[in-house]
Structures are given as C-alpha cells and as structure tokens.
Amino acid sequence: MKPRGAHKTIGFAAAGVALVLAGTVIWLVNKPPTADCSAEASADHKVHEIRATKVVVQPWLGKHHVYGIFMVPNRYKQNKNYALTMAVRGFNHHFPVVERADKLYPDDIPAEPGHYVKRVYVPTRVALWSLVTGLFGDLRAPCHWTLVFTEQTP
C-alpha cells in the first residue's frame, strides 16, 4: 500500500469521527428535559420559592452565559432575615447567590410592579457537565430553576 493511500484513509476516518462527534453534540444540546414542569410545593412554611422567568444557557460563549432571571417581590429586597440559594431540578447542589447591586442588563425583562429583577448565575463547568450527562434540556427549562428564600431564626 502506498503512503498516500494511508493518509487518505486516516483523513476519511478523522472526518467520520468529527461528523459523529458533531452530531452527538447537536443531539445533546437539543435534547428535551428529562422531567416535566409540575410544581412541587415546599412543605416547610419557612421556605419560599420563586421560579425563573427566563433562562439563558450558552456555556460555549464562556463565563457568565448561564443564568436565570427571577422576578422577586420587593419584600425580599435588602431583607437579612432570609438565606438565599438557587436550585436547578436534576442537580444535587444548591448554588450560592452572590448579592450584587441592582445592576440592570440590556437583555433583562422589565420588573413588574412590586418586584425587582435578579439574575443568578450557574458555573459554566456545571452547564458543560449537564451537556455531557444529558441533562442540558433540564438546565434550559425555566421551570426547573428555583430561587429559594429560607427564613433564618434570629
């Protein structure tokens, strides 16, 4: 066999692997959520949950491109009686919420009367892991994102 034929074979094999890999990534990105959006009410009256209004999941654009936008009632603003975390259904982890000034972003939705808009981020590595494990559809569903306010006892 000539050396030129071996290069052709390797080239075809590499192109085939690239096509299979691209097809797999496209399938994983477009995979639907694994769980439905049925509401699960908390039995604890000291826990208040708010679902995301909008979710942006674009981890391939880098850091700070995976976040949920929440419409939060004003009663939680500047209130130190609550511990604040964020959960995404399908992930066994509560993400800490970094308190930031009320920064407005051009793509955020306008706040409803009596509410303010809060943007909460998920680490990019978590989003990429969800892509690998087939949970990317769950991450893209706003109904799976929950902002959790837990009353603290003084």
In tens, the pLDDT along 25-51 reads 565 556 666 666 665 555 566 788 889
Assigned CATH class of 47-151: mainly beta
In tens, the pLDDT along 1-11 reads 455 666 777 77
φ/ψ of residue 103, rounded to 5:
-80, 135
φ/ψ of residue 100, rounded to 5:
-125, 160
* pTM score: 0.70
Q: Where are the domains of the chain?
A: 47-151
CA–CA separation, 102 and 119 (whole Å): 9
Work out the average pLDDT over 62-75.
Answer: 86
Contact between 118 and 112 (Cβ < 8 Å): no
